């Protein structure tokens, strides 16, 4: 119950909503770029975008073209800050919701 209430409050706040939209746009840009630069299907391109931005880097996919490699360098620098900002904002929001829920009445 706390989780769903926190999600609804999160989406109701313009700052958080804008951050979520920006993160989605960055993932879409990465997905489309890898699809066209590397010739991967959309699911593989999205998968690679997510694992790249979250710095997981399983190693099962890697760019083979020069354009794909150069884009990846650019994508990491631009996207990593955005994803980290999103995760920090999300953590802060849920932490505040948890404090409000556990507050004595």
Give the integer Cα–Cα distance in Å for 95 and 6. Answer: 10
pLDDT in tens, 50-88: 998 887 888 888 999 999 999 999 999 888 888 788 778
Higher pLDDT, 32 or 17: 32
The CATH number assigned to the domain with range 19-100 reads 1.10.287.70
Crossing angle (nearest 10°) for helices 66-102 and 42-53: 60
Give the integer Cα–Cα distance in Å for 6 and 105. Answer: 19
Domain boundary assignment for the chain:
19-100
DSSP assignment letter at 81: H
pLDDT in tens, 27-48: 999 999 999 999 999 999 999 9
Three-state SS at 63: coil
Give the integer Cα–Cα distance in Å for 72 and 5. Answer: 37
């Amino acid at each position: 119950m706390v989780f769903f209430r926190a999600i609804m409050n999160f989406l109701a706040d313009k700052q958080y909503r804008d951050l979520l939209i920006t993160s989605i746009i960055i993932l879409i840009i990465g997905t489309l770029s890898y699809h066209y630069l590397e010739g991967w299907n959309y699911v593989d391109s999205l998968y690679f975008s997510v694992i790249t931005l979250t710095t997981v880097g399983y190693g099962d996919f890697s760019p083979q073209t020069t354009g794909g490699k150069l884009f990846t360098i650019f994508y990491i620098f631009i996207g990593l800050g955005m994803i980290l900002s999103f995760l920090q904002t999300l953590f802060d929001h849920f932490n505040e919701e948890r404090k409000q829920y556990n507050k004595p009445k």
